[in-house]
Amino acid sequence: MMTKDIKGDFPILKNGLIFLDNSATTQKPTKVIKAVKEYYEQDNANVHRGIYKLAQKSTVLYEKAHEVVANFIGAEFEEIIFTKGTTEGLNLLAYSLGKNLNAGDEIVLSEMEHHSNIVPWQQIAKEKGAVLKFIPITKEYRLDMEKAAELITEKTKIVSIVHMSNVLGTINPVKEIAELAHEVGAVMIVDAAQSVPHLPVNVKESNCDFLVFSGHKMCAPTGIGVLYGRKELLKEMQPFLYGGDMIKEVTFEQSTWNELPWKFEAGTPNLAGAAGLLAAVEYLQEIGMNNVEAHGKKLMKYALEKLSVIPEVTVIGPAEVENRGPIISLNIEGMHPHDLSEMLDRENIAVRGGFHCAMPLFSKLGLDGSIRASFYIYNSKEDADRLVNAVMKAVEQAKKEEGVINRAEITPGDLTEEQELYKENVIDHYKHPRNKKEIEDYTAKYREVNPICGDTVTMYVKNNNGTIEEISFTGSGCAISQASASLLTENLKGKDIEEAKKFNQQEVFALLGIPISHTRTKCALLPLKTLHHALEEM
Ligand code: PLP
C-alpha cells in the first residue's frame, strides 16, 4: 500500500521502470526536485557573507539543513559537516586523522569495504608507514568478530567499518566494534552510505566517533553528503580543505579557523544540494524510518525466498534476514553478470552488474562480480516478482544456449540480414573463442580491467621481426568483450606490429558487425585497449 502512493511521488518511475539500482543512487521525489528548483527561483545567494535579505534567507535555509540532518541522526548542529558525499567524508577523515599517525600504527578495516573506505587509508598508510588490517568475513558473509577482537590492539589508531555492505547487504555490529576500538583508544568511523537511507541511525547510540553518508542514496540530489564527527574530536582535528567559509581571520602570515561545523566546509558549499537534502530528510521523516526499514526488510525477505528455490541462482550474502538490508547480489550459473544485467534491462529492470566498487571482496570470494538488485521505498512486491521472473527466464536461456546470452540480448534493435550473420559470428566467437590461451615465449603481455563490469583481458603477443607471429588472450568477461578479443586476435595474427598499433575502435566495431549499445562500448574495446598497451611495451 505504502509503495503505491510512494511510487507516484517519483516522476521518473511513471513510465514503468523497475528501478533496482538503489544502492548506487536513488530516484528523487517531486518534493526534492521542487525544493532544488525553488532554491534557484527564490533563495539563491551565497551564505555567511551578504548582509542583504536574500543572503540571509539562503543562510537560514542552509543552516536549517544542518539542523534537520543533525536531528535525523541524533547529532548536534556543530557536528554536521556537509561534504560531496561518503567518499569525500572518508578522504577528509583519512587526511585529517592521518596527520597524527606514526610508522607502525594500525588502521583496521574489513574485507567487505567499498573502495572509498579502502583507498584513502591505503594512501595514508603508505605516506605514514602505517599498517592496514582487514577483519575477515565468515562463510555466512558476516564479520568474524573473534578475529576483530584479535586484530584491534593497542597499535590500532583507527577502525573504519561499513555499517551495511553495499554488496552483501550484511548489517555489521558497529556498536560492538566501536567498543573494541574505544577499549584501545582508537577512533571508530562508520561508513553509513547504505545504512542511513534504510534504517533509523542514531550516532550517539551507535557510539561511533565519525559517520559518513551520501544524500543521493536517500532521495537527495547528487553532490551533497554528510560527515558526522564528535564535537571534541572535530575541535582538535586539522581542516582538510582551506579557504572561504572555513576561515575566521587571515593575515598575510597566518590564518585561524572558523567555528564548527564551518571549519570543515571550505569554499562556497552546494547550497541547492543542501536544500534538496533538507527536503529529502523531511520526506523520509514523513514516511518514518521505521517504516522504511520494515518495507525494505519485507521485500528483501520475499525476494530471497523466491530466489532460494531456483537452484541455478547463488545469492552472495547472508541467508539469515536478521541484520541484513534490502540489497541482493546474485549470480546465475553459466551467465556473466554483465550479460544478465543487460537481459534484465530489456525487461525494463535496472540492476547493477560488476564488482560494485568492492573488488577486494570479490577476489576474496573468488567471483567475477555479480548482479545486484537493491530495493528502496518505492519498490513493490510486484517489482520483486518481475525481478524473480526475469531471473528465471535468464536461467532457462542460459540452459538452452549453453550459457550463452540470448541472441536477442546481444545487441539492441532490429537487425539487417547482414547484421544477423554477424550476430551469429559474434555468438560463435563467444562460445568457441579463438586464441584463448597463454603463450609462454611471448614478447609482450598486458592485463587490463574494465572497472565498471569487472571484465579482465590479458593479451600476449609474440613479435617475429616486426610481424605478429602469435597473439592470444586470457581472462573472463561478458559475451561482447570475449567475442571482441577472439575476433581481434584472429584478425591480427600474421599482421605487421605497426599495422596493429594503428588498428582503431571503428575497425573493432566493424569486426563485430552488430550495433553496440553505449553501455557495452567499453566491453567491446577492452581487448583493443589491452593490445595497444602490450604493443607499447615492445
Ligand atoms: N561506501 C559505500 C558502502 C557505498 O555503497 C558507496 C557508494 O556506493 C560509497 C561508500 C561511496 O559513496 P559516494 O559515491 O556517494 O561517495
Going by pLDDT thresholds of 50, 70 and 90, the confidence category of residue 154 is: very high
CA Rg, the chain, in Å? 26
- In the predicted model, what is the mean pLDDT of the chain? 94
Q: Give the chain's length.
A: 538
What element of type H or E holds 149?
helix 145-151
Residues 6+ apart with CB under 8 A from 238: 96, 99
- How far, in Å, is the centroid of ligand 1 from the Cα of 151? 25
Confidence at 378, pLDDT banded by 50, 70, 90: very high
Enumerate the β-bridge partners of residue 475: 457
Q: From CA 373, how far away is CA 375, in angstroms rounded?
A: 7
Q: Which tens digit of pLDDT belongs to each residue from 348-377?
A: 999 998 889 999 999 999 998 999 999 999
What CATH number was assigned to the domain covering residues 288-400?
Answer: 3.90.1150.10
Q: Is 86 in the pocket of ligand 1 (CB under 6 A)?
A: yes
Q: Cite the residue boundaries of each domain of the chain with CATH code 3.90.1010.10.
A: 417-536
Counting beta carbons within 10 angstroms of the beta carbon of residue 168, is it exposed (0 to 12), middle (13 to 18) or buried (19 or more)?
buried
Active site residue: 208, 219, 357, 453, which one?
357
- 214 CA closest ligand 1 atom index: 15
Q: How confident is the model at residue 164 (pLDDT cuts 50, 70, 90)?
A: very high
Site to substitute for ligand 1 among 109, 114, 224, most atoms within 8 A of C-beta: 114
Q: 34-38, 45-49, 375-379: which range is least confident on average?
A: 45-49
Share of the chain above pLDDT 90, in %: 82
Which three three-digit cell numbers place residue 503? Answer: 588498428
Q: Which of 257-266, 310-319, 425-434 has the lowest mean pLDDT?
A: 425-434
Q: Which of 315, 309, 323, 305 is nearest to 381 (CA)?
A: 305
Categorize the per-residue pLDDT at 1 as very low, low, confident or very high, splitting at 50, 70 and 90.
very low
Is residue 191 in contact with ligand 1, taking CB distance under 6 Å? yes
Per-residue DSSP letters for 155-208? TEEEEEEESB-TTT-BBP-HHHHHHHHHHTT-EEEEE-TTHHHHS---HHHHT-
91 ligand 1 Cβ < 6 A: no
Q: What is the pLDDT of residues 275-285, one digit of tens each?
A: 999 999 999 99
- Residue whose CA lies nearest to ligand 1 atom number 7: 24
- Residue whose Cα lies nearest atom 8 of ligand 1: it is 24
In the residue annotation, 357 being an active-site residue is answered as yes
Outline where DSSP puts E strands in 465-513: 467-476
On the 0-12 / 13-18 / 19+ scale of CB atoms within 10 A, 396 is exposed
Give the Å distance between the CA of 259 and the centre of ligand 1.
28
First to last CA, the chain: 64
pLDDT range class, residue 466, cuts 50, 70, 90 = very high
Instruction: Identify the CA nearest to 375 among candidates 174, 194, 192, 172.
Output: 194
Q: Judging by DSSP bridges, how do beta strands 80-83 and 225-229 pair with one another?
A: antiparallel
Given this model, what pLDDT does residue 336 score?
Answer: 85
* Rounded Cα distance, 488 and 497, in Å: 14
Residue 494's CB is within 10 A of a number of other CB atoms, namely 11
87 pocket-lining for ligand 1 (C-beta < 6 Å): yes
- Higher pLDDT among residues 187 and 244, named by residue: 187
DSSP labels for 317-332? Answer: S-SS-TTB-SEEEEEE
The C-alpha atoms of residue 247 and residue 238 are separated, in whole angstroms, by: 13
Query: Which strands sit side by side in the sheet containing 444-449, from one edge to the other?
Result: 444-449, 456-464, 467-476
User: What average pLDDT score do residues 133-159 get?
Assistant: 98
Q: Which three cell numbers stand for residue 513?
A: 558487425
Percentage of residues of the chain with pLDDT beyond 70: 97
Note the pLDDT of residue 409: 61
Cell digits of residue 308 = 532460494
Per the model's pLDDT, the better-predicted residue between 431 and 499 turns out to be 499
The CATH class given to the 417-536 domain equals alpha beta
> Which has the higher per-residue pLDDT, 451 or 165?
165
68-76 mean pLDDT? 98
Please give the distance, rounded to the nearest whole angstrom, from the Cα atom of residue 23 to the centre of ligand 1: 8
For residue range 287-319, list pLDDT tens digits in order. Answer: 999 999 999 999 999 999 999 999 999 999 999
| Dihedral sign, Cα of residue 278, residue 282, residue 288, residue 294 | negative
Q: Which pLDDT value is given to residue 3? A: 53
Distance 89 CA to ligand 1 centre (A): 10
* Calpha distance 185→189 (Å, rounded): 13
Q: How far is CA 157 from CA 27, 163, 521, in A?
A: 38, 19, 44
Residues of the chain with CATH 3.90.1150.10: 288-400
Ligand 1 binding pocket includes 162 (Cβ within 6 Å): yes
Domain 81-267 fold: Aspartate Aminotransferase; domain 2 (3.40.640)
Q: Is 206 in the pocket of ligand 1 (CB under 6 A)?
A: no
Among 118, 214, 218, 277, residue to substitute to test ligand 1 (most atoms within 8 Å of Cβ): 214
Which of 82, 110, 113, 116 should be mutated for ligand 1, with most atoms under 8 A from CB? 116
* Ligand 1 atom closest to residue 113's alpha carbon, by position in its atom list: 3
Question: Which of the residue ranges 167-181, 225-239, 473-487 would you say has the lowest mean pLDDT?
Answer: 473-487
Dihedral angle at the C-alpha atoms of 487, 489, 494, 500, nearest 10 degrees?
100
User: What is the average pLDDT across 427-449?
Assistant: 93
Q: How far apart are CA 214 and CA 166, in angstroms?
A: 13
Asked whether residue 245 carries a pLDDT value surpassing 90, the answer given is: no
CA of 389 to the centre of ligand 1 (A): 29
Atom number, ligand 1, closest to the C-alpha of residue 163: 3
Question: DSSP of 55-72, one letter per residue?
Answer: HHHHHHHHHHHHHHHHHH
Determine the residue of 189, 357, 376, 452 to mutate for testing ligand 1's pocket, defined as the one with the most ligand atoms within 8 A of the Cβ atom. Answer: 357
Cα distances (Å, whole numbers) of residue 208 to 170, 190, 194, 205: 18, 7, 16, 8
Residue from 126, 117, 59, 111 nearest 92 by CA: 117
**Residue 11 pLDDT greater than 60, yes or no:** yes
E-strand ranges in 324-379 read 327-332, 349-350, 352-354, 370-374
Q: What is the pLDDT of residue 417?
A: 84
In sign, the C-alpha dihedral spanning 492, 496, 501, 506 is negative
Categorize the per-residue pLDDT at 404 as very low, low, confident or very high, splitting at 50, 70 and 90: low
Name residue 171's beta-bridge partners. Answer: 164
Amino acid at 82: F
Is 4 a residue whose pLDDT tops 70?
A: no
Q: Is the bond preceding residue 261 a cis peptide, omega within 30 degrees? A: yes
**Rounded-to-integer distance, Cα 344 and Cα 128, Å:** 46
Supply the pLDDT for residue 143.
Answer: 98
In which residue ranges of the chain is CATH 3.40.640.10 found? 81-267
